[in-house]
Amino acid sequence: MDTLDVRQTADLLHMRVKRVQSLARSGKLPALRVGRRWLFPRTEMERFLRKQATPALAETPESLDLSARNRLRGRVSAIHADGLMAEILVSIGDQELVSLITRSSAERLGLRVGSNVVAVIKSTEVIIGRDGGES
């Protein structure tokens, strides 16, 4: 079983260490107490993170199994398609991210302004994915 310590879990969930410990003590986060240390199953923490971000995705984890760990959820704010390429602007909080993908990929994903998407950052690329059943 792949486990995370409290610091790694806090980093993964973007929380303070004290908050993670509090959630573990109250049973709101699945954790094991070994001596004075908390250990968290990685798969359970990733499932918890998906559930917090998008309840529908948490029920279908197989819809986006990727090796990349840098996933940002956002909403398409603009699409500029010209020729073979499409520029996708994704709003993530108060930030905007730009991804250049093929026009056919944008069409295949059914991307529209307002679509919820997942930006996957791997090395120098930003890959756009979309949950299966939502429009």
pLDDT tens-digit map of 30-64: 888 888 899 998 888 887 777 665 544 444 444 55
Q: How confident is the model at residue 18 (pLDDT cuts 50, 70, 90)?
A: very high
Separation between Cα atoms, residue 100 and residue 1, nearest integer Å: 38
Give pLDDT tens digits for 65-93.
666 667 788 999 999 999 999 999 999 98
Q: Which pTM was predicted?
A: 0.46
- Provide the 3-class DSSP secondary structure of residue 90: strand
For domain 70-129, give its CATH number from 2.40.50.100, 3.40.50.1980, 3.40.640.10, 3.40.605.10: 2.40.50.100
- Write down the domain spans for the chain: 3-53, 70-129
DSSP state letter for 79: E
Separation between Cα atoms, residue 97 and residue 120, nearest integer Å: 11
Mean pLDDT is lowest, of 9-18, 25-34, 61-70, for: 61-70
Bridge partners, residue 84, by sequence: none
Separation between Cα atoms, residue 84 and residue 101, nearest integer Å: 9
